[in-house]
Structure 1
Amino acid sequence: MKGIAVGIVLAVIGLVLWLTTKEVETPIVSLHKAGLILAIVGGAEALFALLGLGKKANK
């Protein structure tokens, strides 16, 4: 259950960064691209946590 919550929080933070920081320029990492990566990683983490719960329920 903790993995699902962490994944959802990461996805939401990533989406907020991705949608709001398109015009912001930083010297090292683009916040727009970092937000997209966070959203993808958060979604994947939540999905894998859900799959793990499904496997535990089948046993």
Structure 2
Amino acid sequence: MAHLNVYLSRERARWVRAGLEGIAKKENRSLSYVVEEALVVFIKQQGKHVPKHQRMDHRTIPAR
């Protein structure tokens, strides 16, 4: 697993987290799923390759 370090000020980090939490709540998705999608977009914008990885959206997992 690759690691990506992104440094933000505390104020900016709170702002980013609040925005991502808002998206997650609005779309009924987990925060980690929204963060992963945002990072994929960011990495692609940098011109880098993102390996294909199928992650199941919690909304599509059948109830047990």
TM-score using structure 2 length:
0.34
**Which is helix-richer, 1 or 2?**
1
Higher relative contact order (CA 8 A, sep 6+): 1
